[in-house]
Structure 1
Amino acid sequence: MESATLHFLSQLAANNNRDWFQENRKHYDAAKADMEKLVGYLIEEVGKFQDLGNLQVKECLLRINRDIRFSKNKAPYKNNLSAGIGPGGKSAGKIDYYLQIQPGDQTFLGGGMWETTSEQLARYRQEIDYNADELKAIIEDEKFKAYFPEIQGDALKTVPKGYSKDHPEIELLKRKQLFFVHRFTDKEVASRDFGKHVLKGIELLKPFADYMNYVLYEQPTEH
């Protein structure tokens, strides 16, 4: 990424209003083009080891405009550029590789179970109860854990209905969200090899994303 992209986003955070944005539209356009170039590179490279179909860059990019209808925060723009890369793009409704570019060492690559239905949570817990070894082999792998050190997201404070507090996988069963994140410094983002670093993270994340997509969207509800 160009350092100018991070600079624009920093300036936007300090001047988050429509007048300033319109006056600096050319800087936004340059930052967006920079993001498009990165996403285009990632689509091409990920496509070498995962079938992305005819995925287009525009299908991955999220809008910079915020939905402020139900928010107390009325700032009209996000302070970041973001994309969801995976089969079908950002609107596929499945787990993808989420990349968010945000200055202040806040850039991250992430993926996992985040917004789930009660049926999907039931599927997940059924799978963990039946056989947690497959998931644990992925997320406890040495390389995965070094890159994605801890589980992110919410968990129940009590035992989920239908399961014993003595269950050997009770901590995984309590999860309502199961998300992994790797953060990048601004220096890393502005480096020439940033795209390759993100690609490495996607390769590590793929087995987890594949597993969760199967559990949440593809597997039968009963074994």
Structure 2
Amino acid sequence: MASNVTISKEVFDFLTELDKNNNREWFEANKKAFKKQQSEVKNFLEGAKLHLNHHDEIEKMKLFRIHRDVRFSKDKTPYKAHFAGFFSRLGTHLRGGYYIHLKPGRSFLGVGFWAPEKEDLFRIRKELEMDADEFREVINQPELKSIWGELQGDEVKTAPKGFDKEHPAIDLIRKKQFVFMRNFSDDEVLSPTFLNEVDRSYKAIRPYFDLMSDILTTNLNGESILE
């Protein structure tokens, strides 16, 4: 698999037309074009995975289905007007994941912890309650911050149950998600250097993933909980 793959303008052209014609009749009539663009995006994800495996261990790559699950949604349009992929890190000792979202005018990378399990979320909060200094030091590292900016994610309004709303790290403790996002313009996505920029971004988040993996595989005494 070549590692210098790109995203072509045809991918965005197809998604733009799909957004305007989000119905089964149009999609079936243009299924050949969809398959071509889907294959190109999958090729790009394979290239990104190849790069990632030079500095991380990826267990699984997933290209999300373009069909929407409309069962519980008021929006009944049948298709997503974007392509998206996800890379899972290897095993229980490597935590965190890499996401990529390709959509005209709304392309971005996302990394971190979107929906931590209840036990993991409690463990992260207890770590921050005990000592948030190392966490703040990592997320404020110059290279990481210059690429990813500020930590993002949904949060509770005051404090989670059992935590002091006056705690000095309450700004972190109240978070329900621990993610970073990086937006890209269409020109940046279509650039021949986009794959390298994706990889540079993913590589820069490793100190954060390393710290979170350490937190989530130990107890509050720093002892491993892995068998």
Same fold per superposition (TM over 0.5): yes
2:98 aligned residue: 97
Letter in 1 for 2:26: W
Letter in 1 for 2:81: N
Q: Tell me the distance in 1 between the aligned counterparts of 2:101 and 2:30.
A: 21
Q: Offset of 1:45 from its aligned partner?
A: 1.1
1:29 partner SS: helix
Aligned counterparts, 1:44-55, within 5 A: 44-52=50-58, 55=60
Q: CA 1:213 to 1:24, structure 2 compared with 1: closer, same or farther past 3 Å?
A: farther
1:180 partner SS: strand
Q: CA 1:52 to 1:18, structure 2 compared with 1: closer, same or farther past 3 Å?
A: same
1:201 aligned residue: 201
Query: How many aligned residue pairs are there?
Result: 214
8 Å contact kept, 1:151–1:178:
yes
Q: Offset of 1:160 from its aligned partner?
A: 2.3
Q: Tell me the distance in 1 between the aligned counterparts of 2:104 and 2:213.
A: 30
| RMSD after superposition | 2.0
Q: Offset of 1:221 from its aligned partner?
A: 6.4
Q: Tell me the distance in 1 between the aligned counterparts of 2:31 and 2:214.
A: 42
8 Å contact kept, 1:42–1:199:
yes
Q: Tell me the distance in 2 between the aligned counterparts of 1:77 and 1:88.
A: 31
1:18 pairs, out of 24, 29, 33, with 24
Q: Tell me the distance in 1 between the aligned counterparts of 2:215 and 2:47.
A: 29
TM, length-normalised to structure 1: 0.88
Unaligned segments of structure 1, at least 5 residues = none
2:142 aligned residue: 142
2:36 aligned residue: 30
TM, length-normalised to structure 2: 0.87
8 Å contact kept, 1:85–1:96:
yes
2:4 aligned residue: none
Query: Percent same amino acid at aligned positions?
Result: 34
8 Å contact kept, 2:52–2:199:
yes
1:84 partner SS: strand
Question: Residues 115-160 of structure 1: CA distance to partner in whole angstroms, max 9, x if unpaired?
Answer: 1233222111111112222221221111211211223221111122
1:85 pairs, out of 87, 97, 115, with 87
Q: Offset of 1:166 from its aligned partner?
A: 2.7
1:219 aligned residue: 218
2:158 aligned residue: 158
Q: Tell me the distance in 1 between the aligned counterparts of 2:218 and 2:142.
A: 27
Unaligned segments of structure 2, at least 5 residues = 1-6, 223-227
Runs of 4+ in 1 over 6 A off after TM superposition: none
